[in-house]
Amino acid sequence: MNIRPLFDRVLVKRVEEPSKTASGLFLPESAKEKPVRGEVLATGNGRVSDNGDITALTVKVGDHVIFGKYSGTEIKLDGEERLILREDDILGVVEA
């Protein structure tokens, strides 16, 4: 199934955090939190201003982003969890 976000929304795939700490300890599933990093899979056309102009988004497909823990709406696409959130909910882009 394909989905195209509208306006200033983006579709994000969460990136799993490592299950092992820096000291070598493995974390049980119950101790893990949902990842706050993800990869942008699709973007909308942009934000519509009050006068009708469209402002392009600053994130693009393929960007790795950091977002708030409780941001966005979780959906299932083809059996996989995805997240739709507004560009305002994105805190930053991870530069490699």
Taking only the tens place, the pLDDT of each residue in 27-83 is 666 655 666 889 999 999 888 888 888 888 899 999 999 998 888 899 998 888 899
Could you tell me the domains of the chain?
Answer: 9-16+32-94 (2.30.33.40)
- Residue 27's alpha-carbon distances to 30, 31, 38, in angstroms, are 8, 6, 20
Q: What's the pLDDT score for residue 18?
A: 63
Q: Quickly count: other Cβ atoms within 10 Å of residue 90's Cβ.
A: 22
Q: What's the pLDDT score for residue 40?
A: 94
Q: Where are the beta strands (DSSP E) in the chain?
A: 9-14, 37-43, 47-48, 54-55, 64-67, 73-77, 80-86, 90-94
| Token pair in block for residue 15 | 């990136």
Region 11-27: mean pLDDT is 75
Region 9-36: mean pLDDT is 73
